[in-house]
Amino acid sequence: PRLDPLGYGSVIAKFMTQALRGEPLTVYDNGKQTRCFTYVGDTIEGTIRAATVKEAVGQVFNIGSNRESSIIELARLIRELTGTTSEIAHIPYEVAYGKQFEETRRRVPDITRAREILGFEAQTTLEEGLPKTLAWFRDSASWTD
């Protein structure tokens, strides 16, 4: 919820907006690059623990999920969830960003310290968080702008 579909790295918000508008979902390259998506409620919980656990003072933590999902998998989940007939449009990186662009194919945070010191591990799966996010998008009508 509350993601900016125009912001860099806001692929969930971007796909939700495109699907709700009936526009093609823009997937760069083959979509096999992976990310670990964290529901905002989990991020809040981890941040609160980092602020309140005595042993956390002076430490740095990755607050997030370590469950990988490919971008193409995310696009398919959002298509299914929204019921859209939107196509998935594969766009080469060089078309979108120029020839000098280098993609990080895999991003997985090391959450070991958060687990060991804070007792934190994200609980909300992508499949659980997406319907909540979709409900917010539909209620807020932010995608109609």
pLDDT per residue over 66-77, tens digit each?
999 999 999 999
Show Cβ contacts of residue 93 under 8 Å, excluding neighbours closer than 6 positions: 28, 29, 101, 103
Which tokens hold the place of 109?
């945070």
pLDDT in tens, the chain (145 residues): 656 565 566 899 999 999 999 999 999 999 999 999 999 999 999 999 999 999 999 999 999 999 999 999 999 999 999 999 999 999 987 777 778 877 778 899 999 999 999 999 999 999 999 999 999 988 886 656 5
Number of structural domains (the chain) is 1
Residue 122 belongs to a domain = yes
CATH at 68: 3.90.25.10
Q: Can you tell me the distance from the alpha carbon of 55 to that of 3, in angstroms, rounded to the nearest whole number?
A: 32
Residue 85 belongs to a domain = yes
Q: Can you tell me the distance from the alpha carbon of 85 to that of 79, in angstroms, rounded to the nearest whole number?
A: 7
Residue 144 belongs to a domain = no
Report DSSP state, residue 55: G
Residue 145 belongs to a domain = no
Single pTM value for the model: 0.86
